[in-house]
Structure 1
Amino acid sequence: MRSSVIWFFTNGIIAFIPSRHIRYILYKLLGMKIGGNVSIFMGTHIRNPKGVFIGEGASIGPKVLLDGRRGIIIGKNVTIAYEAILWSLNHDYNDLYFAGNGGKVVVGDYAWICSRAIILPGVTIGEGAVVACGAVVT
């Protein structure tokens, strides 16, 4: 029940507050580790805010999904564009019970993740890397 309330508060209320400064404060209160001068645009979907670290100067675009259930580390001055997805947990389709598996996602400093790119669990994006629009990184 508690996680459902946090999920609704994070993604149904905070994500749509017009002030990025108020969103910043509320995300920090929920346990996200956020550096200075970070922009998190409206409509960003965050799963498990406590598992997300965002370095200073980063920009998280509108409708980005950050899945912090296994951990996400975003370096400084990173740009994550519109509707990009960073998964840290997914299902094992070979398992009879569809068990969850995953790993921490790390995005190096100065990287750029373009619109609608998908980063899958356990991936490390290097410093200064560019992930093209619509790319799937495994």
Structure 2
Amino acid sequence: MKHVISEFRLYLCNYWVNSIPSHRFRLWFYRIIMDFDIESNSYIFLGCKFDCKSGLTIKKNSVINNSCRIDPRGGVFIGENVSISQDVVILTADHDLNTSKFDGRTGKVVIEDYVWIGTRATILKGLIIGKGAVIAAGSIVTKDIEPYTVVAGIPAKVIGRRSIDLSYKLNYKRLFQ
């Protein structure tokens, strides 16, 4: 019965609640029903999907845009003033293809303050994205990213550096998103 309730909660979250154009209601559902730790002035746009209850921490002033998929089974930490563009995928689990039972593995993803992740980027399990880093659109991140670096490609490789003088405060919200 517990499994049925858990699956129903995910169904509600991913196919009903994520379509309601009221951020206040969605935020209430994510905090109370899904047990996500979401601080003030952070925003999750419509259409985002999650793979399990709990395991997600979002610090203040961070934005997750439309249609992202976040898998918090291994834990996802999102720092302050993080901008995650639409269709980003953050995975914390995979399978060990070299075991006879195809064992599952998890690893926490940490996204530090002032990170910007471009549209359709994919972040794989067990990684740290350093403070102020930028991940270009469409990149697949397979290794830790150093602070203030700009990465792009498949797999993501360093293509530049970003200013270390970052002090902006994200406050991006749309009424019916």
TM-score after normalising by structure 1: 0.96
Residue 114 of structure 2 corresponds to 110
Q: Report how far residue 99 of structure 1 moved.
A: 1.2
Paired residue secondary structure (1:69): helix
Q: Report how far residue 101 of structure 1 moved.
A: 0.6
Aligned residues: 138
Q: Deviations over 1:94-131 (max 9, x none)?
A: 22222111200000001011111110000000001001
Structure 1 stretches (4+) deviating beyond 4 angstroms? Answer: none
Amino acid at match of 1:41: F
Corresponding position: 1:5 with 2:8: yes
Corresponding position: 1:132 with 2:142: no
Residue 19 of structure 1 corresponds to 22
8 Å CA contact retained: 2:10, 2:53:
no
Paired residue secondary structure (1:4): helix
Instruction: Return the alpha-carbon distance in structure 2 between the equivalents of residues 95 and 58 of structure 1.
Output: 38
TM-score after normalising by structure 2: 0.76
Largest Rg, 1 or 2? 2
Q: Report how far residue 46 of structure 1 moved.
A: 1.1
Unaligned runs of 5+ in 2: 143-177
Paired residue secondary structure (1:101): strand
8 Å CA contact retained: 2:19, 2:47:
yes
Residue 34 of structure 1 corresponds to 38
Aligned residues with identical type, % of pairs = 36
How much is the aligned-residue C-alpha RMSD, in angstroms? Answer: 0.9
Unaligned runs of 5+ in 1: none
Amino acid at match of 2:107: G
Instruction: Return the alpha-carbon distance in structure 1 between the equivalents of residues 95 and 62 of structure 2.
Output: 29
Amino acid at match of 2:28: I
8 Å CA contact retained: 2:49, 2:70:
yes
Q: Deviations over 1:35-83 (max 9, x none)?
A: 1011100000012231000011110011101101010000011011110
Corresponding position: 1:54 with 2:54: no
